[in-house]
Amino acid sequence: MNEKQYDVVIIGGGPAGLAAGLSASQHGAKHILVVERDRELGGILQQCIHNGFGLHRFDTELTGPGYAERYINMVKANPSIDVLLDTMVVDLAPDKTVIVINSVDGMQKIIGKAIVLAMGCRERTRGAIRIPGTRPAGVLTAGAAQRMVNMEGYIPGQQVVIFGSGDIGLIMARRMTLEGAKVLAVFEIMPHSSGLTRNVVQCLEDYDIPLHLSHTVTAIHGTERITGITYAEVDENLRPIVGTDKYMDCDCLLLSVGLIPENELSRDIGLCMDPLTGGPVVNQERETSLPGFFAAGNVVHVHDLVDFVSEEGEIAGHFAARLAQGEKSLSAQIYSVVPGHGVRTVVPQKIKVLAGEQGAAKLYLRVTETQRKITLSVSSGGQTLLEKRFPVAKPGEMIVLDLQAAHLDKIVGDIIVEIKR
């Protein structure tokens, strides 16, 4: 088998992987490889033809392909970065050996000094949420529908119901409407949308598409193509309330019921995983529990904004490059970051406090439920490191807290992130 060596090998050519590649180059890595399974770089951005990308990063509003293009052009112009397209990683080993396959070179063995995992996420399916009923054509995840509509040019239905109010579902409600389909309703089992507020407004309200919160789809009907669904209100335990079920005709059901970090490779090499995020446990340098393996983007935790994905990719690429160049890590203390009252997830899950000079660290967190006028607190050993007030906090919108070097110096034990009562 063909064998190649690289400083940094990046698995996934979406926004996290592209940013990691550029950042690794900026931080001195000379031989960088990005492995992408699709026919072009950019990942899921390529099917997100709506605008709203890059407000933080480029201070302008871009489409998904437009955002991707900026990174792709920088990667293509960078002589240190090689790209393998249409290439699947078939095996990853803890010794940083990556086996890849494509139709041009067959199987190749690639050895990296550092590896960045940037595989993104996949959609939760009908089976995972156990919607009863038949299994007709016309039931698909919103992302699969998005690919077919935006990249291949085919519509999956004309009378559409959407279950789940994740961002892709909201975006597809508008997209299907613009393509001439009638979007009859969006059902969301939770009492709040799991998508961004701006998407609820711009994709549903602007088009008079009803959003039914605290409702679930209880059955799918139709033998060949879907002919309708049954939906019902749910109680506080998310169980359908008997007697509230109603029938609705439709010829398509799109599911936007959650995203799952794509971590089969991470599990293969035995990385320590966070059951709350579904991604690997990382420190603020995005290094995982296995030295030399970094992770960034939706593979770590599902983001709302690509800008933050790029930012995480940069962090991972930066530290992967330093490790690949043989930089010895200084002696450090490792502390755990623990989500406390009202907080569902926090990334990074570990903070490395160096003996010498500190860098800064950003905490990306999600709250458990929508709350107004809250104060988020970060504390360690009973001492408050940071407090910040928010007019509103929603589970669908990730919150970022900046920890400065001075904060890190004060860490003496577990770091608790919580909403002050």
Partner 1 sequence: MQSRQKVDVAIIGGGIVGTAIARELARYKLEIMLVEQHPDLSMGTTKANSAILHAGFDAAPGTLKAKLNVRGNQLYREMQEELGLDIKLIGSLVVATDEEGLVVLLQLLERGRQNGVPGLCILNREAVLEREPQLAPATLGALFAPTGGIMDPFGVTLAFAENAVRNGVQVLTECKVEKIEVSDGHVVGMHTSQGFIEARFIINAAGVHADDISHGAGDRSFAIHPRKGEYMLLDKSVGSFVRSVIFPTPTKVSKGIVIAPTVHHNTFVGPNALTIDDKEDLSTTADGLAAIVVGARALVPSVPLSATITQFAGLRAVADGDDFIIRPATGVRGLIHAAGIQSPGLTAAPAIAEMMVDILRTEGLSLQAKPSFWPDNPARVLFRDQEAHRKQKLVAENPLYGRVICRCEMVTEADIVDAIHRSCGARTLDGVKRRTRAGMGRCQGGFCGPRVIGILSRELNIPIPAVRKDTAQSFLFFDKIRGAREVEDHE
Which of 93, 107, 238, 405 lies at the binding interface for partner 1 (CB under 8 A)? Answer: 107
What's the alpha-carbon Rg for the chain, to the nearest Å? 22
- By CB under 8 A, is residue 103 in contact with partner 1? yes
- By CB under 8 A, is residue 323 in contact with partner 1? no
Which of 43, 240, 280, 342 lies at the binding interface for partner 1 (CB under 8 A)? Answer: 240
- By CB under 8 A, is residue 39 in contact with partner 1? yes
Q: What residues from 351 to 390 belong to the interface with partner 1 (CB under 8 A)? A: none
- By CB under 8 A, is residue 106 in contact with partner 1? yes
The two three-digit tokens of residue 70, written as one number: 């900026």
Identify residue 272 by its one-letter amino acid code: C
> Minimum Å distance from CB 41 to partner 1?
14
> Minimum Å distance from CB 264 to partner 1?
8
Of residues 220 and 403, the one with the C-beta less far from partner 1: 220
Of residues 118 and 337, the one with the C-beta less far from partner 1: 118
Contacts of 156 (CB under 8 A, 6+ apart): 138, 140, 145, 148, 149, 252, 254
Ramachandran quadrant class, 90 (left: phi over 0; alpha: psi -120 to 50; beta: rest): alpha
For residue 199, the SS3 value is helix
217-220: list long-range contacts, CB under 8 Å, 24+ apart: 217/131, 217/161, 217/163, 217/187, 217/253, 218/131, 218/132, 218/245, 219/131, 219/132, 219/133, 220/126, 220/131, 220/132, 220/133, 220/134, 220/135, 220/136, 220/139, 220/253
Which of 36, 123, 167, 314 lies at the binding interface for partner 1 (CB under 8 A)? Answer: 123
Taking the C-alpha atoms of residue 311 and residue 231, their distance in angstroms, rounded to an integer, is: 40
Q: What residues from 246 to 285 belong to the interface with partner 1 (CB under 8 A)? A: 264, 267
- By CB under 8 A, is residue 49 in contact with partner 1? no
Residue that is written with structure tokens 């203390």 in the block: 333
Q: What residues from 80 to 99 belong to the interface with partner 1 (CB under 8 A)? A: 86, 88, 90
> Minimum Å distance from CB 119 to partner 1?
10
The two three-digit tokens of residue 218, written as one number: 């209880």
- By CB under 8 A, is residue 135 in contact with partner 1? yes
Q: What residues from 143 to 182 belong to the interface with partner 1 (CB under 8 A)? A: 143-144, 147-149, 151-158, 179
User: Which residues contact partner 1 (rule: CB under 8 A)?
Assistant: 1, 37, 39, 86, 88, 90, 101-107, 122-123, 125-128, 130, 132-138, 140-141, 143-144, 147-149, 151-158, 179, 218-221, 223-225, 240, 264, 267
